[in-house]
A and B are shown apart, each in its own frame.
Chain A
């Protein structure tokens, strides 16, 4: 209960204003310096030109603010089939990875949501634990499993299934296995959250009215979990589209993806403006899925 001699609310909010600044000012300063400024610098250097100096580019604004920028980097990214194919392939890989994660993750999330209350937290931790064991370590384990003299080929040979080792590592197969392994927890969590919230009474009602379990699943459970499934798909798709490490360590050496092209332009060719243009293009491609994801999150 508010005492009558307390100032009314709007007055207090006004009184707090300087205190708000103590919170807001450092936060704004940080965000301006480390989030907004880098984006602007990135865009600026994408408009610059490759040069053999240190740093290896000519900025778009010359001495005295004279414009000397160029759209050549963006033109190269948009028209050169090498980059275009890289973008298409990256989106395909991201799409396939997200679809595979849904396929593998959905039954896992469903079984977790249907498990007795006491077993849910341990199961959730079990799905999360691999996430905490080090990303590179897990990729390294797949190298040990899949390479020519690796564990899987050893087992297959011992069983007499194959005579010569299968070339499993440095292939699309190895890349997808590594991608799904790394991103699966991202898919399981939102799926589990969506399925755990569902009301079992709706499914029971459908069953009581004579629907077979498969029909209940397709007509009730699946539609109810659709927003969660969409969130899970995007949560995998967005980072997977720019993924660099897994294709580089497990995938075929010749496969060019955006993350790899950007990395190569930057570290091998030292063409910073082109790398920046690739980054801006990747952002432009991902804006739609990112907005979609934010919509879904806001709608919950």
Chain B
């Protein structure tokens, strides 16, 4: 049925129209975004000189890297337990807790984590104040939920008998884990890290709740600027982000295609 194909192309057009225009008009000299005033790189130059934005971007990258690493650690443990431990005590609660941030509205997660940080500081003095650390912890909580799903799914489809064979051949459970399970998990660990990293870079709601004066992330700056409308500088930043995302996804697709080809050939 060609109606569905027409729908596909219309839908893709709807998804891409704003993005394509955003990238195109980033090269316009006009002061008003999405108005063509001749080709110019002036807004990219202005962007490079915007210290507040650059500082926020660097903070966001650091927070995202830390949050993603923590998320993979926690999500890895949780995903491993769910995939390999069978029915252990408290499993239902364990699964519900690890998955909760996936289904909770962001405003609820953000508010409840902030109230926790305030209560913790009042009770034990940690975390002292709010800023990059509290944002990192909030993002790690969200990322761990996604990481656990990705890692559990990978382990569930990986054959358990490989680990049992290693142990039957005399490997201790730790050696079996390190030499068999960990390599099996590796692609999902990387995928989970990238997913948590992206989630952190993209989040404005959790960060707004749990951050303090010293922890303004890039999405927080963007949000406050967009409240006043779109500026050509933000437009240029959008073009940079789209370019980075396209290159990263292109590389991932290429890698996937090569892995597929190798599998098909071997």
Q: Which residues of A contact B (CB under 8 A)?
A: 1-3, 6, 12, 16, 19-20, 23-24, 26-28, 30-32, 34-39, 41-42, 45, 55, 104-108, 110-112, 114, 121-123, 125-130, 132-145, 147, 149-151, 154, 180-181, 184-185, 188, 213, 217, 238-239, 241-245, 248-249, 258-259, 262-263, 266-267, 272, 275-276, 279, 282-283, 286, 290, 293
Contact = CB atoms under 8 A, between A and B. Distances in A.
Contact of B100 (A16, A35, A136, A185): A35
Contacts of B25: 144, 151
Q: What are the 4 A-B residue pairs with the smallest beta carbon separation, nearest first?
A: A242-B105, A107-B7, A141-B18, A111-B8
Contacts, number: 242
The residue in B14, B85, B104 that gathers the most chain A C-beta atoms within 10 A of its C-beta is: B104
Nearest to B225: A140
Contacts of B229: 143, 147
B33 A144 contact: yes
A276 B248 CA distance: 39
Instruction: Classify the interface of chain B: helix, strand, loop or mixed.
Output: helix
Interface residues of B, number: 85
Instruction: Classify the interface of chain A: helix, strand, loop or mixed.
Output: helix
B8 A108 contact: yes
Contacts of B242: 133-134, 137
B135 to A, nearest CB: 13
Nearest to A6: B168
11 contacts: A2-B168, A19-B174, A27-B74, A32-B97, A41-B112, A110-B7, A133-B238, A154-B35, A282-B107, A283-B104, A286-B103
Interface of B: 1, 3-8, 11-12, 14-19, 21-22, 25, 32-35, 74, 77-78, 80-81, 85, 88, 90, 94, 97-98, 100-101, 103-109, 111-113, 115-116, 118-119, 122, 137, 140-141, 144, 167-168, 173-174, 198, 201-202, 204-205, 208-209, 219, 222-223, 226-227, 229-230, 234-235, 237-238, 241-242, 245-246, 248-249, 253, 256-257
